[in-house]
Amino acid sequence: MHYALCVIHAAMTISFSGRAILLDIEGTTSSISFVYDVLFPYVRTHLEAYLKKNWGRDDLVHAGNLIAKDTGANSLVTWCLGLKTNEAVEKMRIEVNRLMNIDSKSTGLKQLQGLISREGYASGELRSHVYPDVPIALKKWTDKGIDVRIYSSGSIQAQSQFFGHTVAGDLLGYFKGHYDTTTGAKREIASYTRIAENIKQPPAQILFLSDVAQELDAARGAGMKTGLVVRPGNKVPEFGHTHPAITSFDEVKI
């Protein structure tokens, strides 16, 4: 607790004169508690019904193929070979819950979570939390010509749903691009190199903001500018990190 308070008290402004800002979601634009206390429980509650209703649909099969391959199977069909539909659904339900229990960042799981949460956003049952400073900063940055993008372990589809249905309204229009684990793991330098190439900017012209020091280490290894976002409820970063810390996007000075 003492160290967490020190990090907050040591928060500083970040002066940035580059051309693009890359943002994490959990603990950066939005509270971790929304994801773990609202979004994930919604997925668990609706998982079985969604699987039964949509079994065989292309988007579900695609996510299922990725989940099956992570278990060592060639595809969803071979993974569920010889099973009746209700048995295959139960096998998938058990595996998805197992993956969620270990907080897996697997691409298949994230795609399936996005498919299920999409229905919650469409019905109005889900509205994403964003910190009050986020929409203000997004408008300010885009008005100044900054290219703002998202990089999260959640699927691109889930990111679109997330920012299209927030408590502050539809924020999707502020983003020029989205990246997920299909680009690469968030703690690998190569992922940020690929993102910089996609943005078509030198890494030094990009600022990455995240609450995870190891992700920031990787981004800095690729040449990006970095900032550690310290929000209420975030995990205490490892001692000795060297990233400038901020508690609000207001502290990013363009």
Ranges for all domains in the chain classified under CATH 1.10.720 = 37-123
**Predicted pLDDT of residue 6:** 46
- Note the pLDDT tens digit of each residue in 118-154: 999 999 999 999 999 999 999 999 999 999 999 999 9
CA-CA distance, 164 to 172, in Å (whole number)? 5
What is the crossing angle of helices 58-70 and 107-123, to 10°? 150
Long-range contacts of residues 174-179, Cβ cutoff 8 Å, at least 24 apart: 174/138, 174/139, 174/141, 174/142, 174/148, 175/148, 175/149, 175/150, 176/147, 176/148, 176/149, 177/147, 177/149, 177/150, 178/149, 178/150, 178/151, 178/152, 179/149, 179/150, 179/151, 179/152
Does domain 37-123 correspond to CATH entry 1.10.720? Answer: yes
More reliable by pLDDT, 247 or 3: 247
Q: Tell me the mean pLDDT in the region 90-94.
A: 98
Quick count: other Cβ atoms within 10 Å of Cβ 126?
18
Q: How far apart (Å, rounded) are the C-alpha atoms in residues 233 and 247?
A: 12
Do the strands 147-151 and 20-23 form a parallel or antiparallel pair, or are they unpaired?
A: parallel
- How many angstroms separate the CA atoms of 200 and 213, rounded? 25
CA distance 168 to 98: 33
The CATH 3.40.50.1000 portion of the chain extends over: 2-30+128-253
Whole-number average pLDDT of the chain: 93
Per-residue pLDDT, averaged over 206-230, amounts to: 97
For residue 2, pLDDT beyond 60: no
Q: Give the residue carrying structure tokens 């929409």.
A: 135
> pTM for the complete prediction?
0.88
Amino acid making up residue 99: L
How much is the pLDDT for 11?
53
For 10-32, how does the pLDDT look when each residue is reduced to its tens digit (9 = 90+)? 457 899 999 999 999 999 999 99
pLDDT at 238: 67
Q: What percent of the chain has pLDDT over 90?
A: 91
pLDDT value at 8 more than 50: no
Q: What is the pLDDT of residue 223?
A: 98
The strand pairing partners of 178, in sequence order, are 150
Residue 9: pLDDT band with limits 50, 70, 90 = very low
> What average pLDDT does range 88-102 have in this prediction?
98
Does domain 2-30+128-253 sit in CATH 3.40.50.1000?
yes
Q: What is the mean pLDDT of residues 165-169?
A: 97
